[in-house]
Amino acid sequence: MSDIDDLELSLSAAIAAATDEAALEAVRVGALGKKGSVSELLKSLGAMSPEDRKTRGAEINGLKDRVGEALTARKAVLKAAALTARLAAETVDVTLPLWSSPANEGRVHPISQVTDELTAIFADMGFAVAEGPDVESDFYNFTALNFPEGHPAREMHDTFFFQPKADGTRRLLRTHTSPVQVRTMLSQKPPIRIIAPGRTYRCDSDQTHTPMFHQVEGLVIDKTSTIGTLKWVLEEFCKSFFEVESVEMRFRPSFFPFTEPSMEVDIRCDRSGPEIKFGEGDDWLEILGCGMVHPNVLRNCGLDPDEYQGFAFGMGIDRIAMLKYGMPDLRAFFDADVRWLKHYGFRPLDLPTLFGGLSA
């Protein structure tokens, strides 16, 4: 047996033993590459006589052709085997239901939904949205709002204080969004018409209170606002928010350091069934506090109370969300329970609008 026959047998065995395309490529390079065994035989033809070169060249070229054909055939077999294995591994059960799109699976938290709802309502009445920091100073949270040092009203707010600074002052987590009103009055000239939704913090926790909760406060400062204007704004808000044609509201005298006179507002409702119904019934439910801005607050913000007046109101976003959508426990708002969110949450593309419906 000649050396060409031996080489052909060796290469055929190597080709047949290749289990994947990478191994087969290694065999090809070892045989037909620049320094492969078949290529080296072709290089030896230059040292032969013309007669030997003719005979030997035909044999080597024949070997080269046969090896190439064997490589091509084996490559086709390996490709087919790889495709079969991939198809088996990537089997799709066409009887399975389709995955829901993120827009169908995701839910908007009720707090975000209600914030969007009330923003849409107040925007229609000309109110802009104002924001401020969660970490505040004593001045913005208390002093500017007519809470003097040592005033008993400060005890109404169970405040989270930070450690004192070197100068003895302490920062705190805001107990209401009223500091946003102060910042707005200090930075803008009247007329002012804003709402300030955001997180607030107090040391309190039970079925209807949490250490962190959400409030929205409204502020109007101009030269002509009256209690009558305040009542109209709140009545229109309640009708739009609770999506009823009419509401009956009761304004009771109260006390807030930053308003004078101050009032708490009740709304007529029916609590005889499992759900609270507004605009009907003989029951009353408190929903917010309000009043005319105290002259001291105007002075603290650089405004002349003899020239400007206005009103403010505030309500808990979590509370009105519970009332509107029948959620019994405030603590569940912050449990991050997906089951609760799927039940009470809103589809992300169902944006609240006054013409399309707030809770559509």
pLDDT digits (tens, 9 = 90+) for 229-256: 999 999 999 999 988 888 899 999 999 9
Residue 113 is assigned to a structural domain of this protein: yes
Residue 97 is assigned to a structural domain of this protein: no
Tokens for 211, please give them: 């250490």
User: What mean pLDDT do residues 105-120 have?
Assistant: 90
pLDDT of residue 157: 64
309 or 328, which is more confident: 309
Query: What are 349's strand-pairing partners?
Result: none
The pLDDT confidence band at residue 1, using thresholds 50, 70 and 90, is very low
Please, are residues 265 and 237 in contact by the beta-carbon 8 Å criterion?
Answer: no
Q: Which of 127, 109, 173 is nearest to 318 (CA)?
A: 109
User: What mean pLDDT do residues 214-222 have?
Assistant: 96
Residue 253: which CATH number? 3.30.930.10
pLDDT of residue 115: 93
Q: What pTM was computed for the model?
A: 0.69
44 phi, psi to nearest 5 deg: -75, -10
Does the pLDDT at position 194 exceed 80?
A: yes
User: What mean pLDDT do residues 133-140 have?
Assistant: 92
Does residue 85 sit in the same domain as residue 116? no
Range of the domain at 310: 108-344
Cα separation, 286 vs 252, in Å, equals 10
* 175, amino acid identity: T
Does residue 138 sit in the same domain as residue 65? no
Residue 99 is assigned to a structural domain of this protein: no
Residue 76 is assigned to a structural domain of this protein: yes
